[in-house]
Amino acid sequence: MGKAFIFDLDGVIVDTAKYHYLAWKELAEKLGFDFTVEQNELLKGVSRIRSLEILLDIGKVHLEEDTKTKLLTEKNEQYLKYIAKMDQEEILPGIADLLHYLKSSQIPFALGSASKNARLILERLDLINLFDSIVDGNDVSIAKPDPEVFLIAAQKLGVMPEDCIVVEDAQAGIEAANRAGMTSLGIGDKTVLKDSNFVLQDTSKLTIDYISQLMD
């Protein structure tokens, strides 16, 4: 079915969502309102600018554009402090083995992430040299669910979109993969990721045997 893989970062390779949440929560508290774990689900898979807009809507806070820019910088600096302490222990179950298997089998794979810190995170996890290509928030102009990030990744890998399997944990990412004409493999709740071609409960189910069957 597929000749190449494209992986999202957050929720697929590592869970940095908790650090994003803590940084957003600190920002919300600074602005005078609470930000819950449940509300944080609304930020999954969307750009940082859109995330800030959602946060401000929740708190019913209206700010000038230059203030928004400053807040985005503050939030990112706080987030970077958290991820600077990351190590390989934070790689999600089964992922390191899977990436090494794909590499040794010469099956091309790329990262397709909205994160502008993707390269830094992969360096912290000692995974960066495994990827054939990395496309992150610095390379794209339109956020998921637009398929741009995945189409660029396919182009960099030298494969057609229909030959790509995208591994994603967010509905916006699944929609982007489907719009790109790729096979979508969701990690998480099948009721949330109902538009995925395939869904696995968590990364521990993303075994080498499963991947081999997908490619048959």
Q: What is the pLDDT of residues 135-172, one digit of tens each?
A: 998 999 888 999 999 999 999 999 999 999 999 999 99
Q: Number of helices (H) and strands (E), helices first, in the chain?
A: 9, 6
How many structural domains are present in the chain? Answer: 2
Task: Give catalytic status of residue 209 as yes or no.
Answer: no
Q: Are residues 200 and 137 in the same domain?
A: yes
Domain final residue pick, 60, 83, 106: 83
Q: What is the pTM of this model?
A: 0.84
**CA atoms of 163 and 2, how far apart (whole Å):** 5
> Annotated catalytic, 139?
no
1 pLDDT above the threshold of 60: no
CATH of the domain at 141: 3.40.50.1000
Asked whether the predicted pLDDT for residue 123 surpasses 90, the reply is yes
The residue from 10, 132, 136, 169 that is catalytic is: 10
**Residue from 16, 26, 76, 13 nearest 49 by CA:** 76
Is the distance from CB of 15 to CB of 90 less than 8 angstroms? yes
Q: Are 43 and 114 in contact (CB under 8 A)?
A: no
**Residue 128: pLDDT over 60:** yes
**How many whole angstroms separate alpha carbon 106 and alpha carbon 174?**
25
Question: What's the confidence (pLDDT) of residue 41?
Answer: 87
- How many Cα atoms are found within 13 Å in the side-chain-facing hemisphere of 32? 4
The parent domain of residue 143 ranges over 4-15+87-215
Shared domain for 110 and 207, answered yes or no, is yes
Give me the mean pLDDT over the 164-189 stretch: 96
Give the phi and the psi of residue 63 in degrees, each rounded to 5. -130, 155
Residues 203, 139 share a domain: yes
Q: What is the pLDDT of residues 9-59, one digit of tens each?
A: 999 999 988 899 999 999 999 999 999 999 998 987 788 899 999 999 999
